[in-house]
Amino acid sequence: MSRVYDALRKLEEQTKESAREAVSPPPKTVVVPPKNLEQLLSAPVLEARVAPDDRIVVYTDRRGPGAERFRLIRIALRNSQAGKAQKVLLITSPLPRDGKSTVALNLATSLAEEGKVKVLLLEADLHRPSLLQHLGLQKMCGLTEVVEDMADPASAIRRIEPLRFYLLAAGRSSEHPTEMLQTERFHSLLRDFKSCFDWVLIDCPPAFPLADVVVLRSHADGVLLVARAGTTPRETVQETVQLFKPGQVVGMILNAAEGVNHLYSKYYYRKEMVAQSERLSTEVDG
């Protein structure tokens, strides 16, 4: 009889335990960075061959007005971080040839030049990549290979000297670049990069006529627009701004600006961005 009693009691306890498990909330998911994430910071070094024609003025003309303007942009971005984290910055332009890749290179160099922060420049312009050409580097594996699991991030990222930032280039051409940026693999990569780097700058394709900006905007904490003064139509600038959430655009840089900043001022989301943009306008071409 006692054995029957013990068996019934054990069965009752198991039933109660199963009931408790059924109503208990599921454990929180803890995202643990991959083991090789720390290897990203010990990435192999590549020596860039930067010439004045490449217009990375933060390096080639460190005391010039162009370099100083990018340092002002760096200060403005740091100040905009007050109270909230803005680690992922999307750099785009309304149209091709507005100079957004040149701005991305200068901004990455400016943020990294003090050696206090870790900056990753991610080339997500898979349609017309140009960063390696600006840096005088040969083609190498990059984002495409990493997203397609043909390469590990630690083997594709390079530390660019003497500019001090890290680079994940576009890699080989893809038949479906926009679709590739929508994959879970790409989302996962950005999450890992945010946990490893202080800044992730995404060199994005132009807003028109491509759809990549719409895909990438959800990943961005902030957006920096680049337009060519006197060339980029004001209507196109307005349409580009409207692609993003109110307040997501943290500023605008006008290339080749010569006293025409006021043409663009009414398209800013916030009044303070007007004064800020006039201070931060740069004459960098590219």
Confidence of residue 140 (pLDDT cuts 50, 70, 90): very high
Q: Is residue 179 part of a domain?
A: yes
Is residue 106 domain-resident? yes
pLDDT of residue 22: 41
Residue 241 has pLDDT above 60, yes or no: yes
How many domains does one find in the chain? 1
- Specify the pLDDT at position 110: 95
> Does 115 map to a domain?
yes
- pLDDT band (50, 70, 90) for residue 141: very high
Q: Compute the mean pLDDT over every residue in the chain, rounded to the nearest whole number.
A: 79
pLDDT digits (tens, 9 = 90+) for 70-95: 999 898 888 776 545 668 999 999 99
Predicted pLDDT at 14? 56
Share of the chain above pLDDT 70, in %: 73
Q: What is the pLDDT of residue 174?
A: 84
- Can you give the pLDDT at residue 24? 39
pTM, full prediction: 0.77
In a domain, 4, yes or no: no
Say how far apart CA 252 and CA 264 lie, in whole Å: 9
Instruction: Determine the average pLDDT of the residues in 188-209.
Output: 91
Q: Determine, yes or no, domain membership for 14.
A: no
Evaluate whether residue 238 is within a structural domain. yes
Residue 275 pLDDT > 60, yes or no? Answer: no
Instruction: Read off the pLDDT of residues 26-63 as tens digits, 9 standing for 90 and up.
Output: 333 333 344 555 677 778 899 999 888 778 999 999 98
Answer yes or no: is 161 within a domain.
yes
Q: Which residues is 199 bridged to in the sheet?
A: 119
Lowest mean pLDDT among 15-19, 118-122, 202-206: 15-19
**Is 103 domain-assigned?**
yes
Average pLDDT over residues 135-145: 94
- The CATH number of whichever domain residue 95 belongs to comes to 3.40.50.300
23 — pLDDT class (breaks 50, 70, 90): very low
The residue range of the domain holding 93 is 43-280
pLDDT (0 to 100) of residue 254 = 85
Q: What is the pLDDT of residue 34?
A: 47
Whole-number pLDDT of residue 283: 39
